[in-house]
Chains A and B, each alone.
Chain A
Amino acid sequence: EEQLVESGGGLVQPGGSLRLSCVAYGFTFRNYDMHWVRQPPGKGLEWVSAIDTGGATYYGDSVKGRFTISRENARNSLYLQMNSLRAGDTALYYCIRGGDGFDPWGQGTLVTVSS
């Protein structure tokens, strides 16, 4: 079964850092672009970042310069390093495989930025 499992979320103070991880199962990870999408509590979806199979990276305007996406194909893993966190970054962060649409989605990992 194709599956994505995120981890690394938690409570962090404003200005702090956090590193999210995502492990892929059931498909050839290195062959796919990968994405992070977030959803603040009770709100809609926001695309955060992407990394393609060649390692090129893309970021949404709200996180550019603060977040860094990376991948480690040998470990079937995707990462999101988040620095200078703000209250507005509070959200459920989903790891997603790219391709013909975002599919599948992980279950999400919750990041809460609060003092």
Chain B
Amino acid sequence: QSVLTQPPSASGAPGQRVTVSCSGSTSNIGKNYVYWYQQLPGTAPKLLMYKNNQRPSGVPDRFSGSKSGTSASLAISGLRSEDEADYYCAVWDDSLSGRWVFGGGTKVTVL
């Protein structure tokens, strides 16, 4: 069971907006930056969002991130077929001796 909770799936029609949530606690999301990764089928994950809401170069502005309290969200607007992928949130957790933790992943399906 993951320290960070994500819904296992989300879906939307092309052009629609989809959001993926990531719920944590005061020892992780509550005090540290959240990162998001996109994993297309059969490929290695790729950094999609860093420091809560910053997009690396090359990531379309259709992707946006936000954080509030102990939860974070990734939004995909203007959904496209190539957005069909697994999405993972990640954050540093200060509990125990410290560690990085990932959410369980959300499969986004474009209908």
A residues apposed to B, CB below 8 Å: 35, 37, 44-47, 50, 58-61, 94, 100-108
B residues apposed to A, CB below 8 Å: 2, 35, 37, 44-47, 49-51, 54, 56, 86, 88, 90, 96-105
In whole angstroms, what is the CA distance A94 to B102 when docked? 14
Q: Given the complex, which residues of A lie within 8 Å of B2, measured CB to CB?
A: 44
Residue B47 contacts which of A35, A102, A107, A108 (CB distance < 8 angstroms)? A102
Main secondary structure of the interface of A (DSSP, over half): loop
Residue A101 contacts which of B50, B97, B98, B101 (CB distance < 8 angstroms)? B50
Q: Given the complex, which residues of B lie within 8 Å of A107, measured CB to CB?
A: 44
Query: For chains A and B in complex, what number of residue pairs have CB atoms within 8 angstroms?
Result: 56
Main secondary structure of the interface of B (DSSP, over half): strand
In whole angstroms, what is the CA distance A47 to B88 when docked? 12
Residue A58 contacts which of B46, B47, B99 (CB distance < 8 angstroms)? B99
Using A45-B37, A58-B99 as known contacts, say yes or no to A103 and B47 having CB atoms under 8 A apart.
Answer: yes
Using A94-B44, A105-B45 as known contacts, say yes or no to A47 and B100 having CB atoms under 8 A apart.
Answer: yes
Q: Are A100 and B54 in contact (CB under 8 A)?
A: yes
Using A44-B88, A45-B37 as known contacts, say yes or no to A103 and B102 having CB atoms under 8 A apart.
Answer: no
